[in-house]
Structure 1
Amino acid sequence: MSANMVHAAELLNCQPQWITSPQSVPPESDSEQPTDLEADSLTQPQADVYQLSGSAFIKQPGLVVLGDEILYEKLRQRAQIFGQVEFHREDLIITADQASFDDQQKTAQLIQTRYQMKPSRAHGHARTIDLDKQQEIAILQQATFTTCPIQNLSKGTVPASGEAKSDQVAWELEFENLEINNQTRRVYGKNTVLFFHDVPVFYTPYFDFPLDDRATGLLIPEYGSYKSITDDTNRFYVKLPYYFNLAPNYDDTLTVMYMQNRGPVLENEFRYMEKSGNVRHQAELTLTALNDAQTAKDGLAYLDGNEVVYGDTIEQRWRAKLLASQNWGHGFSSNILWHETSDENFFADIPVENGYRTVTSTPRYARLNYRQENLQAYAQLYSYLRLRDAPVNYEKRPEIGLLYNESFGDLRFDLSTEATEFDVPLSNHSKPEALRTRLVPELSYAINQSYGHLKASVAANHLNYAMHDNGNNTTGKDNFEYTVMQYALNGGLVFERNFNLGEQTFIQTLEPELQYLHVPYVNQAFVPLFDTTNKSLHFSNLFSSNRFSGYDRIGDTTQVSAALTSKILTQAGAPFLEAGIGQIFYLEDRQVSLTGTEPDTAEQSDYFMKLGLTTPDVYFYSTSQFSKEDTELVNANSRLRWKLSEDNKLLLNHTLYNNNLPDAKATLSAGATFRLSPRWEVGTYWNYDFTNEVRNEVQHALRYDDCCWATEFSVEETQLENGLYNYSVQFFIEFKGLSTTGSSFKQYLDNKLNF
């Protein structure tokens, strides 16, 4: 049997076995129900006392009691049970050597017990258990608790006081006394010791944890080390998170972190969700703060080449993050992603939000949307949180847009308009600023059939710029406007045939596509570039109406785009294989170009190719650009997800830019997880710059995953600048059923490579 098959089999058996076979418990009832008594023999030593011997049991609503011998007082509704005692309730099973219960008081006491909760199967033992059915409370003396599978269980066996721990379970909590409260769904313990493989590893005089997955309690601590540019050696840190289940629709997590040389850090994450009819709200607010002893003494550190330079001193450091999404009803919705920090070095120095550790800036926005039938509108602020070595970016403060469409059979009218205020939030910059308004009416006629499509369209791009008087206006005008027309005719056919490959039947398509595009020349060389650049590599750009992203350049052209795509589909129409090749043929030279670049006067574009494969185990997609002169590879973007087995996978993302040119760049992001055995798993992530032969980021992880506990150790190396690296180590251990932890390396890998 393979390791993966063993792992799958173990997962199915991870729940602890029953301490005894569960009994069918009669449901609770408000009306009086008779008590059933059964046994191999029944005697009546007194008028109201029954003695049951041999496989005796008592059955009543909400309770089943089994034992070797039972003395039952009918008038007082009391019972004493001896021998192999079993108590069965809807939520609890208890075995004991001796027990008694009072049906009038709804109480019971059991001695030398082992208990198990249903349905989680969490279990333990106790010297005595006192049950109060009315209060829904159980009090246990000298008790233990675990969620691990039971090994070599002897029913009712309880170690004597001071006796060495058994090897029955991997981890176990031992309490002087323990309260299980079914009303609050909490477990409260006093003088608690956590044993891990018989070794005491943690003590607390008071301990409480949830019976349910989502409840107030201590989460798993995280330990690690962190090396910033100012440190010669790694500095350790420890995170202690505590979760507050405040209500079904909101909660809070408070994390106390201590960092060597810097001091304590407080972080609080509040989450909220509400739904009422069509109105839905959810938000997440994270606040982090510390009094940094290191920067208060030495100042903020910056890199100047390979040298560390210290700037102003700062003691109080903080960050705030708001992530929110709202649906207000009546067509209105909103989205917010906003960051603020006390300084640009915060994420580089403090191990929170590790994804921001090396980035120079990250977007932030607040957007209000309206959508009603054929009308869409929005208003937004789009900004950037500037971090270390951040570039000077334009921000949209604000942008307001409207989109409207109306169809008349195959004829469609679209109108889009927007006004954008381009602003630079710095006082010492040299960039021009402006208010740009754009109005684009478009009329199109489209025919769509199963065998092909045809679409003719005409659009007018009218742009107006109101330049700001900030001393950086390079246009020589305060206001200017122009209109660029676009005419396009696009058509394609779909040919299909069935073919067999082995015992499977597939559908193969052949899809030629042509587009004629005419855009007259309008001089735009004097217009600043606010949000415009060359488009990134994508096969669909062959049929784009503008070769530039953004709207500060509308590329002039008279061209014909041609592409041929073939797909192989399953009988159900699901994609399997896809391949395509295309090229653009220019009938006139282009004159519009980006600032500082020469116009392209080639008669044909390079060749563009796409290749895709989709199976249950493999997903691959690649777009490539080949030189029209010598068919050498120029640009490429490829993604691969390969699921080698249920527990092993490989993720790749390769990018090649301007191959064999002075500004060439080739990077590979690769990640993999492999299961070495049923319990051991390794993972790795690499981001490598082939052009400069530099490791941008490397991370390795080792994980042990058992039925009732798991641990993960990871090491990360991140390049900061000029060969200087940040090194960090993280470690956590999780006791399943007792607490939870953050995302595993496998989840981190999926997010990192966007799979």
Structure 2
Amino acid sequence: GRTPQLSLSTLRQDIGGFDFGSAAEFVDFSHPSLVNGKRSTLYPSLSLPLVTPSFFLTPKVGVHYTYYSLYEIPPSATDLTIPAFPNSISRSLPIFSVDSGLIYERETNALGQGVIQTLEPRFYYVNIPFRDQNQIPLFDTAIADFNYAQIFSENMFSGGDRINDARQLTAAVTSRMLLPSNGQEVLRGTFGQRYYFKDQQVTLGPAAPRTYNASNFLTALSGRVSEHWTLEGASEYDQRDYRTERLTLAARYRPEGLKALNLSYRYLSGDITTTGPIKQVDLSAQWPIAGRWYGVGRFNYSLSDSRIVEGIGGLEYGADCWTIRFVVQRFALTAGTSSSSLFLQLELNGFSRLGSNPLEALKRSIPGYQRINAPSPDRKPGDSFDFYD
């Protein structure tokens, strides 16, 4: 368990041209058979954003400090299963980064019409020195999912128990096509890769450190094929083994607010934890049923294992002053086991929510999901189903 968990983030902007940020967290970890302890984290940082309409440059410096106070190992654990840790551990790491980019625009003819085409290269440099962290237990840390957002982050690990050593540069370029009349995006293409100037030293457990000098190549393409339909595709390509590590294809239908239909296919190549590639299809939707009733659902099916990975079904009803949500969620844990959750929530619009909250699960599982009672500045009396774009 991780109770209590307290987090605080602050950001003060434009203090003499500088931005000052700070992130703090305190977590008390407990486990019946593993090491227990408290982790306190403080990460103050100072950045200097230099921004023009066609250029940005943001150098940033910070110090990431972590302190552990470890309890005695529970009696049920043995020396064979739990490594020996000191009673207290501290770690302090300076972090330096520079985020920069350019924005070029030109008018051209494409897609059968006049458009504005952009070219947006971006470069992100990170430097973090090595610290031996083998004496720090792993409470909540794993390798973060490798994607476009992650290659523009400082740490390759999620959680707070490991901070990677780094001397690396991410280079990416995005090109967009916009309608001159309203700036609406009709096509976007993105390519990116991370380059390493040193071998990896900080790892998770016995995992082999990285020794290659360039990450896999990330590509993404999305386009609006009609007023309501959008097609998307993304891939991760391993240029060392000449194979596609992952591929996602998706079609999304948005005829109006509170109506969303998504269909996608996902492919992941096999690794040491799987017997073969992972292939999944995913169908999700939010749709009006009748009157003030709305339905939500998701069906995520594994073609490789011939089983449901995750299923969600539910109903929402919105009155003028209150909203009720009933959602059932079921997802697979292992090949033969699954877990189910039931959410029932009553929301008094603009005041409070009672019961278990399904909103995070719905936002994560159904792209384009919108609260049926989200406020709108031009809402009319009796209109219960406003939405945000």
- TM-score, normalised with respect to structure 2: 0.70
Give the equivalent residue in structure 2 for 1:690.
303
Identical positions, percent = 24
Given the superposition, is the C-alpha separation of residues 445 and 643 from structure 1 closer, same or farther in structure 2, using an over 3 Å criterion? closer
C-alpha spacing 1:637/1:532, structure 2 compared with 1 (3 Å): farther
Q: Which residue of 2 aligns with 1:401?
A: 8
In structure 1, the residue matched to 2:99 is: 490
Whether 2:52 is the aligned partner of 1:449: answer: yes
Residue 722 of structure 1: how far off its partner (Å): 5.8
Report the counterpart of residue 143 of structure 2 in structure 1.
Answer: 534
Contact 1:475 1:527 in 2 (8 A): no
- Structure 1 residues 519, 500: CA separation in 2 closer, same or farther (over 3 Å shift)? same
Alignment root-mean-square deviation, CA: 3.8
Match in the other structure for 2:235 = 624
User: What residue in structure 1 maps to residue 386 of structure 2?
Assistant: none
Whole-Å Cα distance in 2 between the matches of residues 606 and 452 of structure 1? 27
* 1:499 matched residue in structure 2: 108
Q: Distance in 1 between matches of 2:195 and 2:146?
A: 18
Q: Rate the CA distance shift 1:605–1:645 in 2: closer, same or farther, 3 A.
A: same
AA matched with 2:36: E
Bigger Cα Rg: 1
1:665 to 278, 284, 288: 278
Question: Superposed, which structure 2 residues align to 1:656-735 within 5 Å?
Answer: 656-659=267-270, 663=274, 664-671=277-284, 686-696=299-309
Counterpart of 2:366, as a letter, is L
Report how far residue 400 of structure 1 moved: 4.3
**CA–CA separation in structure 1 for the residues paired with 2:202 and 2:144:** 15
Match of 1:753 in 2: 366
- The farther-off stretch of 453-462 and 404-413 is 404-413
1:653 equivalent in structure 2: 264
Q: Aligned pair in 2 of structure 1 residues 751, 421: CA closer, same or farther (>3 Å)? A: closer
Compute the TM-score of the two structures, normalised by the length of structure 1.
0.38
Task: Quote the residue 1:410 is aligned against.
Answer: 17
Partner SS for 1:527: coil
1:67-121, Cα deviation, whole Å (9 max, x unpaired):
xxxxxxxxxxxxxxxxxxxxxxxxxxxxxxxxxxxxxxxxxxxxxxxxxxxxxxx
Name the SS for the 1:542 alignment partner: helix
Alignment of 1:506-585 (within 5 A): 506-571=115-180, 572-585=182-195
Alignment check: 8 A CA contact 1:515 1:562 kept: yes
What is the DSSP-based 3-state SS (H/G/I as helix, E as strand, rest coil) of the residue aligned with 1:529?
Answer: coil
Match of 1:467 in 2: 70
Structure 2 residue aligned with 1:479: 88
Aligned to 1:590: 200
Distance 1:625 1:396, change over 3 A: farther
| Whole-angstrom CA distance in 2 between matches of 1:411 and 1:645 | 41
The 2-side partners of 1:685 and 1:412 are apart by 41
The correspondence for 2:247, drawn from 625, 628, 636, is 636
Runs of at least 5 residues in structure 2 that lack an aligned partner in the other structure: 288-295, 314-328, 340-360, 369-389
1:440–1:461 contact (8 Å) kept in structure 2: yes
Q: Is the 8 A contact 2:89 2:136 kept in 1?
A: no
Q: Secondary structure at the match of 1:539?
A: coil
Q: Give unmatched runs, 5+ long, in structure 1.
A: 1-393, 675-682, 701-715, 727-747
Is the contact between residue 624 and residue 636 of structure 1 (CA under 8 Å) also seen in structure 2? yes
Q: Deviations over 1:443-467 (max 9, x none)?
A: 1111111102111111111110000
Contact 1:619 1:641 in 2 (8 A): yes
Measured after TM superposition, the shift of residue 580 of structure 1 is: 0.9
Aligned mates of 2:310, 2:93 — CA distance in 1: 45
* Count of aligned pairs: 317
Contact 2:9 2:21 in 1 (8 A): no
- Residue 26 of structure 2 corresponds to residue 419 of structure 1: yes
Asked if 2 retains the 8 angstrom alpha-carbon contact of 1:538 and 1:623, the reply is no
Deviations along 1:612-647, one digit per CA (max 9) or x if unpaired, are 22453123444321102144211234443135999x
State the 1:490 CA deviation.
Answer: 1.9
Residues 244-323 of structure 1 mapped to structure 2, 5 A cutoff: none
Distance 1:400 1:718 in 2: 29
Aligned residues of 2:298 and 2:366 also touching (Cα < 8 A): no
Quote how far apart the aligned CAs of 1:688 are.
Answer: 1.6
What is the rounded CA distance, in whole Å, between the counterparts of 2:187 and 2:207 in structure 1?
38
| Aligned 8 A contact 1:644 1:650 in 2 | no
Aligned equivalents of 1:672 and 1:400: distance in 2?
33
Aligned-pair distance for 1:541? 1.5
Check 1:431–1:666 CA distance in 2 against 1; reply closer, same or farther (3 A cut): farther
C-alpha distance after superposition, 1:351-371 (max 9, x if no partner): xxxxxxxxxxxxxxxxxxxxx
User: In 1, Cα distance between the equivalents of 2:149 and 2:124?
Assistant: 12
* Partner SS, residue 48 of structure 2: strand
Structure 1 pair 569–592 and aligned structure 2 pair: CA distance change class (3 A): same
Distance in 2 of aligned mates of 1:554 and 1:725 = 33
Q: 1:495–1:398: structure 2 CA closer, same or farther, 3 Å change rule?
A: closer
Per the alignment, in what secondary structure is the counterpart of residue 149 of structure 2?
A: helix
CA distance in 2, matches of 1:649, 1:423: 41
Partner amino acid, structure 2, of 1:616: E
Deviations 1:470-502 (CA, angstroms, capped at 9, x unpaired)? 335634200010111111122111111112347
Aligned partner of 1:606 in structure 2 is 216
| Change in 2 beyond 3 A, CA 1:625/1:475 | farther
2:150 aligned counterpart, secondary structure: helix
